[in-house]
Chains A and B, each alone.
Chain A
Amino acid sequence: MSDFSDELTRPVAKAVRVETSMLSGTGMYIPWLRKEMETVETGGKQEKDFAKTTNACLDLIQEALLKHQWQKAAEYMHSYLQILEDSDTSKRQAAPEIIWRLGSEILYYHPKSNVETFSTFADRMKNIGVMNYLKISLQHALYLLHHGMLEDANRNLSQAETWRYGEKSSSQEILINLIQAYKGLLQYYTWSQKKMELSKLDEEDYAYSTATQNMLNHSCKTSVNLGALIQIPGVWDPFVKSYVEMLEFYGDQDGAREVLTNYAYDEKFPSNPNAHIYLYNFLKREKAPKEKLISVLKILYQIVPSHKLMLEFHRILRNSEKEEHRKLGLEVLFAVLDFAGCTKNITAWKYLAKYLKQTLMGSHLAWVQEQWHSRRNWWPTFHFSYFWAKSDWTEDKALACEKALVAGMLLGKGCRYFRYISKQGHQALKKKIKRMNKSVKRYSIVNPGL
Chain B
Amino acid sequence: MDLVEAEEFKERCTQCAAVSWGLTDEGKYYCTSCHNVTEISKEVINTGAIPNTKIQAINRGLKRKRKLEKGWDWYVCEGFQYILCQQAEALKTLGVGPELKNEVLHNFWKRYLQKSKQAYCKNPIYTSRRKTVVLEDNLSHSDWESEPELLSDFSLPFVESGAESQSDVTTQKSFPVIKASQSETASVCSGSLDGVEYSRRKEKGIVKMTMPRTLAFCYLSLLWQRETITLSDLLRFVEEDHIPYINSFQHFPEEMKLYGRDKGIFAIESWPDYEDIYKKIIEVATFLDLPRFPDITEDCCLHPNILCMKYLMEVNLPDEMHNLTCQVVKLTGIGEVDFLTFDPIAKMAKTVKYDIQAIAIIIVVLKLLFLLDDNLEWSLSNLAEKHNEKNKEDKPWFDFRKWYQVMKKTVDEKKQKWEEARAKYLWKSEKPLYHSSIDKSVVYKRREMVVNLQKQFSTLVDSTPTVEKKSPSSFQFNWSEEDTDRTCFHGHSLQGILKKKGQLLTTKNSLYWLSTQKFCKSYCKHVTTYEESNYSLSYQFILNLFSFLLRIKTSFLHEEVSLVEKRLFKAKYSKIKKKSSRSKKVRRY
Interface residues of A (CB under 8 A from B): 48-51, 53-54, 56-57, 59-60, 70-71, 74-79, 81-82, 84-85, 87, 99, 103, 106-107, 110, 112-113, 117, 120-121, 124, 128
**Given known contacts A78-B461, A112-B459, A117-B456, A49 and B466 CB-to-CB distance under 8 angstroms:** no
A60 touches B450 (CB 8 A): no
Q: Which of B26-34, B65-73, B421-429 is near enough to bind chain A?
A: B421-429
B428 touches A60 (CB 8 A): no
**Given known contacts A49-B270, A85-B428, A128-B449, A71 and B460 CB-to-CB distance under 8 angstroms:** yes
B425 touches A79 (CB 8 A): yes
A76 touches B424 (CB 8 A): yes
**Residue from A48, A50, A75, A107 within 8 A of B424 (CB atoms):** A75
**Given known contacts A110-B460, A112-B460, A81 and B453 CB-to-CB distance under 8 angstroms:** yes
**Residue from A71, A75, A79, A120 within 8 A of B456 (CB atoms):** A120
A75 touches B269 (CB 8 A): no
Report chain A residues within 8 Å CB of B15. none
Interface size class of B (residues with CB under 8 A): 20 to 34
A56 touches B419 (CB 8 A): yes
Nearest-CB distance from B420 to chain A (Å)? 7
Report chain B residues within 8 Å CB of A54. 423
B446 touches A81 (CB 8 A): no
A78 touches B420 (CB 8 A): no
Q: How far is the CA of A120 from the CA of B460 in the complex (A)?
A: 14
**Given known contacts A57-B424, A60-B420, A82-B428, A106 and B270 CB-to-CB distance under 8 angstroms:** no
Report chain B residues within 8 Å CB of A51. 269
**Given known contacts A57-B423, A121-B456, A48 and B270 CB-to-CB distance under 8 angstroms:** yes
433-470 of chain B: CB within 8 A of chain A: 446-447, 449-450, 452-454, 456-462, 466
Instruction: Mark each residue of chain B from 269 to 297: 1 if its CB lies under 8 Å from any CB of chain A, else 0.
Output: 11100000000000000000000000000
**Given known contacts A84-B449, A124-B449, A128-B449, A74 and B457 CB-to-CB distance under 8 angstroms:** yes
**Given known contacts A49-B269, A53-B427, A85-B447, A124 and B460 CB-to-CB distance under 8 angstroms:** no
Nearest-CB distance from A342 to chain B (Å)? 49
**Given known contacts A50-B270, A53-B423, A84 and B457 CB-to-CB distance under 8 angstroms:** no
Query: Other CB < 8 Å A-B pairs besides A57-B424, A75-B424, A107-B460, 8 of them?
Result: A51-B269, A56-B419, A60-B423, A77-B457, A78-B458, A85-B450, A110-B460, A117-B456
A78 touches B454 (CB 8 A): yes
Interface residues of B (CB under 8 A from A): 269-271, 419-420, 422-428, 432, 446-447, 449-450, 452-454, 456-462, 466
Nearest-CB distance from A88 to chain B (Å)? 10
The number of residue pairs between A and B whose CB atoms lie closer than 8 Å in the complex comes to 85
Nearest-CB distance from B480 to chain A (Å)? 29
Nearest-CB distance from A109 to chain B (Å)? 11
Q: How far is the CA of A87 from the CA of B268 in the complex (A)?
A: 11
Report chain A residues within 8 Å CB of B271. 49
**Given known contacts A49-B270, A128-B449, A76 and B456 CB-to-CB distance under 8 angstroms:** no
Q: How far is the CA of A107 from the CA of B459 in the complex (A)?
A: 11
**Given known contacts A75-B461, A112-B460, A48 and B269 CB-to-CB distance under 8 angstroms:** yes
Closest partner residue, chain B, to A125 (CB atom): B453
A71 touches B461 (CB 8 A): yes
**Given known contacts A56-B422, A60-B420, A78 and B450 CB-to-CB distance under 8 angstroms:** no
Report chain B residues within 8 Å CB of A107. 460
Q: How far is the CA of A120 from the CA of B452 in the complex (A)?
A: 10
A124 touches B427 (CB 8 A): no
Nearest-CB distance from A3 to chain B (Å)? 36
Report chain A residues within 8 Å CB of B459. 112, 117
Closest partner residue, chain A, to B467 (CB atom): A75
Report chain B residues within 8 Å CB of A81. 450, 453-454, 457
B446 touches A71 (CB 8 A): no
Nearest-CB distance from A206 to chain B (Å)? 53
**Residue from B269, B419, B420 within 8 A of A50 (CB atoms):** B269
**Given known contacts A71-B461, A75-B466, A78-B458, A50 and B449 CB-to-CB distance under 8 angstroms:** no
B432 touches A85 (CB 8 A): yes
The 4 A-B residue pairs with the shortest CB-CB distance, nearest first, are A50-B269, A74-B460, A49-B270, A57-B423
Q: How far is the CA of A48 from the CA of B462 in the complex (A)?
A: 30
Q: How far is the CA of A212 from the CA of B271 in the complex (A)?
A: 72
**15 sampled A-B residue pairs with Cβ under 8 A:** A48-B269, A50-B270, A53-B427, A57-B423, A71-B461, A71-B462, A75-B424, A78-B457, A81-B457, A82-B426, A82-B427, A84-B453, A103-B453, A107-B460, A117-B459
A49, A76, A112: residue with the most chain B Cβ atoms closer than 10 Å: A49
**Given known contacts A48-B269, A48-B270, A117-B456, A76 and B423 CB-to-CB distance under 8 angstroms:** yes
Q: How far is the CA of A44 from the CA of B7 in the complex (A)?
A: 56
Nearest-CB distance from B112 to chain A (Å)? 27
Report chain A residues within 8 Å CB of B428. 82, 85
B424 touches A124 (CB 8 A): no
Nearest-CB distance from B126 to chain A (Å)? 30
Q: How far is the CA of A121 from the CA of B458 in the complex (A)?
A: 13
**Given known contacts A53-B425, A60-B423, A82 and B450 CB-to-CB distance under 8 angstroms:** yes
Q: How far is the CA of A74 from the CA of B457 in the complex (A)?
A: 6
B270, B425, B452, B453: residue with the most chain A Cβ atoms closer than 10 Å: B453
A106 touches B460 (CB 8 A): yes
Closest partner residue, chain B, to A75 (CB atom): B461
Nearest-CB distance from B85 to chain A (Å)? 25
Q: How far is the CA of A48 from the CA of B457 in the complex (A)?
A: 26
Q: How far is the CA of A128 from the CA of B442 in the complex (A)?
A: 11
Report chain B residues within 8 Å CB of A82. 426-428, 450
Nearest-CB distance from B269 to chain A (Å)? 4
Q: How far is the CA of A85 from the CA of B427 in the complex (A)?
A: 10
Q: How far is the CA of A218 from the CA of B364 in the complex (A)?
A: 86
**Given known contacts A81-B453, A84-B450, A85-B446, A53 and B422 CB-to-CB distance under 8 angstroms:** yes
Nearest-CB distance from A42 to chain B (Å)? 12
Nearest-CB distance from B246 to chain A (Å)? 9
Closest partner residue, chain B, to A56 (CB atom): B423
Report chain B residues within 8 Å CB of A113. 460
Report chain B residues within 8 Å CB of A79. 423-426
